Amino acid sequence: MSSPRPALHYSPPSGWVNDPLGPTWHEGQYHLFFQYVAGRTTWDVACTWGHATSPDLLTWETQPLALDVGDGEDGVWSGSVADGIAFYTAVDAADADRGRVRRALADDASWTTWRKEDVVLTTPADDDLRAFRDPFVAPYRDGWRMLLAGSLTDGSGALWTSRSDDLVSWTPPAVAASGTDQGSLWECPALLQVDGRPVVVISVGGPSDQHAVVYAWVEDDDGDRLRLAPWQRLTHGPSLYAASGFHDADGRPGLLVWLRGIGDVEAGWMGAHSLPYLLSASGGRLVARPHPALDGRRTGEVPPGLLPAVADLDWSPRPGDVLESPGLFRAQASEEAVVVAGHELPWSGERVRLVVDGPVLEVFADGGVLAAPLPATGRDGVLEGDLARVVVQRLA
């Protein structure tokens, strides 16, 4: 049975997609880059930078490749865009975990074609270093700050930091933070200002915590080493990983995240991206909510018992309440969590928002975000379930 394609979550026409990269508002539209492997539905070292554009963060049009392999590289891996400059991880297949940072400049105002420039950072000559990649560049204080992520040989995840005044010359990368409490590999860092406070967001993998996005508020910064508050978890469930920080057209901080396990091998595509999230701070926590662009798609209530293939659900449960669409998903509230598709999302009595988009379910609460793949429906655009206690709203 084929899987429906999501309507509001970016997915490729064909091929493999993973990390979203460098979402940027530029010349009246959003540009999204992403790790892409054409012609197959599995990951490969020879990743490229795909490219898509959107007027609203929800309706995406795929563009030609922005960056391809070659020019001394076996893979063009994750990175970011700052001030119209792409910073990416150039890798060699023989030692792909230890990347180097290279710049690329757009050849045109539409950012359709890009020209690779020089390498600006190489892997530090450190016997304790195991993995090094994923540059995220952001304005910070009176210059620019680059964060990179990876791991050390002692089993620690690690962050490195580098500084620049001109986005060309960079200080040697120094270990900014490390630890074993959040898995053995840190990836895809982001440094954002949320409600006036700097926060670091990373994706973590390893034996202690597979595939989650976590964050820590920056408490102090001496230029190299970051003093971070304790890490807290932002995402839950099997799908969300590899977050990319961005600012929307109004300058508000947000995230886009890779959705693992979404796709249709028989149809020749695999991978999707989350809804755009808007970030805020509340009670010491980082809170992610669907970007307000989604609110403009709400057009009215759908009668209970019928859930369209794309739906936005507001649910205010009491402990013990169940929301179920048979054969699709089941959500049940307890005193401390909402259990959705067998996965827990921390919850303390606030409203829960569920967004169904074909094969994707995303659930939002103050305790974080949960995402999971949904089974194929077998019916064009209609899912059945008992939603009698929930306001269900169809999306245009």
8 A C-beta contact, residue 79 and residue 89: yes
d(CA 348, CA 336): 6
Q: Is 163 a member of any domain? A: yes
Q: What is the pLDDT of residue 177?
A: 92
- Do 285 and 305 belong together in one domain? no
As given in the structure block, the two tokens for residue 57 are 């963060």
Q: Is 7 a member of any domain? A: no
- Do 135 and 174 belong together in one domain? yes
8 A C-beta contact, residue 102 and residue 69: no
Q: Is 3 a member of any domain? A: no
**pLDDT tens, residue order, the chain (396 aa):** 566 789 899 998 999 999 999 999 999 999 999 999 999 999 999 999 999 999 999 999 999 999 999 999 999 999 999 999 999 999 999 999 999 999 999 999 999 999 999 999 999 988 899 999 999 999 988 899 999 999 999 999 999 999 999 999 999 999 999 998 888 899 999 999 999 999 999 999 865 447 899 999 999 888 778 899 999 999 999 899 999 999 999 999 999 999 999 999 999 999 999 999 999 999 999 999 999 999 888 766 665 555 666 788 888 889 998 888 777 788 999 999 999 988 999 998 889 999 989 899 999 999 999 999 988 654 443 444 434 334 445 565
- Do 279 and 312 belong together in one domain? no
- Do 187 and 79 belong together in one domain? yes
> Pick from 273, 290, 307: which residue ends a domain?
290
- Do 72 and 193 belong together in one domain? yes
Q: What is the pLDDT of residue 341?
A: 82
The set of residues, in sequence order, having a beta carbon less than 8 Å from that of 317 and lying 6+ positions away, is: 323, 331, 333, 338, 352
Which phi and psi angles does 168 have, rounded to 5°? Answer: -115, -55
Which phi and psi angles does 338 have, rounded to 5°? Answer: -105, 120
Q: What is the pLDDT of residue 383?
A: 42
- Do 220 and 332 belong together in one domain? no
pTM of model > 0.95 = no
> Pick from 290, 312, 336: which residue ends a domain?
290
Q: What is the pLDDT of residue 329?
A: 84
Q: What is the pLDDT of residue 182?
A: 87
d(CA 226, CA 176): 5
d(CA 253, CA 226): 21
Q: What is the pLDDT of residue 390?
A: 42
- Do 250 and 303 belong together in one domain? no
User: What are the b/e assignments for 189-208, b being 16+ CB within 10 Å?
Assistant: bbbbbbeeebbbbbbbbbee
- Do 336 and 235 belong together in one domain? no
> Pick from 290, 310, 343: which residue ends a domain?
290
Q: What is the pLDDT of residue 257?
A: 98
Residue 41 vs residues 18, 164, 273: alpha-carbon distances, Å:
11, 38, 15
Q: Is 113 a member of any domain? A: yes
Q: Is 182 a member of any domain? A: yes
- Do 262 and 133 belong together in one domain? yes
- Do 61 and 80 belong together in one domain? yes
- Do 351 and 207 belong together in one domain? no
Domain of residue 242, residue span = 15-290
Q: How many domains, the chain?
A: 2
Which phi and psi angles does 77 have, rounded to 5°? Answer: -100, -170
The stretches of the chain forming alpha helices (DSSP H) are none
- Do 105 and 175 belong together in one domain? yes
